Amino acid sequence: MELVLERWPGRILVAAVAVAITAPLSMDLWRHAQADRLAREGSISSLQQAVRLEPRNADLHWRLGRAELFSEGGNTPAAVTALQEAASLNPAVGAYWVDLALAREGQGDTSAAGSALTRARAAEPRTPEILWESMNFALRDDHPEQAMQFAHALLEAAPPYAARVLSQLGSVADAPSMIEGVLPADQGAMDVATAYVANRSDLPGEQAAWNKVMATGQPPSASSLRYFLDSLIWQGEGPLAERVWTDSIRRGWIAADAEALAEPLYNGSFRTPMLGFGFDWKVLPLEETSVWVSDEGPQPGQPCLCVDFSANARADFGHVSHAVPVTPGQHYLLSAKMRVRHVVTSAGAYLSVSGFRASGVQPATTDPMVGSSGWEAVSTEYVPGAQTRIAQITLSRPGTGAADTPVSGQICLAEVQWQRLNPPPESASVRGHAAHEGMAR
């Protein structure tokens, strides 16, 4: 059928019909535009106007509820009313239920708050923010076991929450419980866990963290593993530090020589690159010195470690060290070969051995070497005290004052060996000064 609009009455009729059809749509678009403008203002009054324009818009009720809940001029009952309406209009949005739970809790109705959070989890079971709010509500409501369950679900869904979770749960749970019962097998979570326990010097937590690493096969990142290991050494936790060191090398997490683990002192020959952490040589920077590995050892081509001091060097030097696990009361012999060139300080250069957790105890030292010399054998005997499970070998050269001659020169070190003396010698002649930590000689 063809509609012919050649006469004015027909044209007017069609126009009237078109207006009748499009007017409601235009009015809806106008109301929506006005409501959107008012919502963007964000005030309680503007949101109330927006809700009146679009009373079936759940999002507007939610925004109004949040404004009533968190704004200075709002009130909790009004927030509850608006948030209930939002959740009724669209119960599939978990955020509506979460904010309703907060409003109900603000009224003191924890039962209704818990029910709202249950509805939020039913709507969005794996949304991290909902699980986070559920965990914190359980803590506030004095249900720590329930909080642990929510924390486990949260970290399974979102491991990056690990730091926040451990911080929150730390007031109601010990580190082993959190590590064993909450943390997932995730490298980022392992980074957080090892830092958490190391920063607190929490040995049970450190043991639990490493047990988790070994059970899951998810090690911390390289930097976190280094921090964890060095923290254990600094704390003097010898058995666990040695276990972390050994396990990590055998699994390839630390790029070291697995065959050299059987040596009493790892890399005492300087034949493998120095790692700078763990139970290997560590070199701390000092502006007036340079440290390197040379092939000018006692035998042709043999590696040795050398330290050069600038012509104006004055600071104390103890920046080359090596940690080693020890057993309290066991006698040890440290031996090495040293060479000095133009070392002019009267105190000379020497090796010293001291224990972690042994403050106030003089270290065992080899005889000092001064001036210039060829390669000479040096040694000293050391016995760890009752609390010492990690010792530190240090290449030392005391500095001089501003009015004294600068300490220039060079020190080289080779063939460093660490030996158990069992049974301890009664009258062995050992070069070096005595140190009394337990029964040092």
Which of 224-233, 349-358, 430-439 shows the lowest mean pLDDT across its residues?
A: 430-439
- pLDDT for position 345: 78
Which of 12-16, 129-133, 251-255 shows the lowest mean pLDDT across its residues?
A: 12-16
Section 171-191 average pLDDT:
96
Section 33-60 average pLDDT:
82
User: For 93-144, how does the pLDDT look when each residue is reduced to its tens digit (9 = 90+)?
Assistant: 999 999 999 999 999 999 999 999 999 999 999 999 999 999 999 999 999 9
Give the pTM: 0.83
- pLDDT for position 10: 56
Quick one: pLDDT band at residue 436, thresholds 50, 70, 90?
very low
- Average pLDDT of the chain is 88
- pLDDT for position 441: 37
Quick one: pLDDT band at residue 364, thresholds 50, 70, 90?
very high
Name 325's bridge partners: 390
User: For 404-423, how does the pLDDT look when each residue is reduced to its tens digit (9 = 90+)?
Assistant: 777 789 999 999 999 999 76
- pLDDT for position 85: 96
Q: Judge whether residue 400 has pLDDT over 50.
A: yes
- pLDDT for position 107: 94
- pLDDT for position 312: 83
What are the structural domains, with CATH classification, of the chain? 32-226 (1.25.40.10), 281-421 (2.60.120.260)
Section 288-307 average pLDDT:
96
- pLDDT for position 430: 42
Section 226-245 average pLDDT:
97
pLDDT greater at residue 42 or residue 211: 211
- pLDDT for position 54: 85
- pLDDT for position 185: 94
Q: Judge whether residue 14 has pLDDT over 80.
A: no
Q: Judge whether residue 251 has pLDDT over 70.
A: yes
Q: Judge whether residue 393 has pLDDT over 70.
A: yes
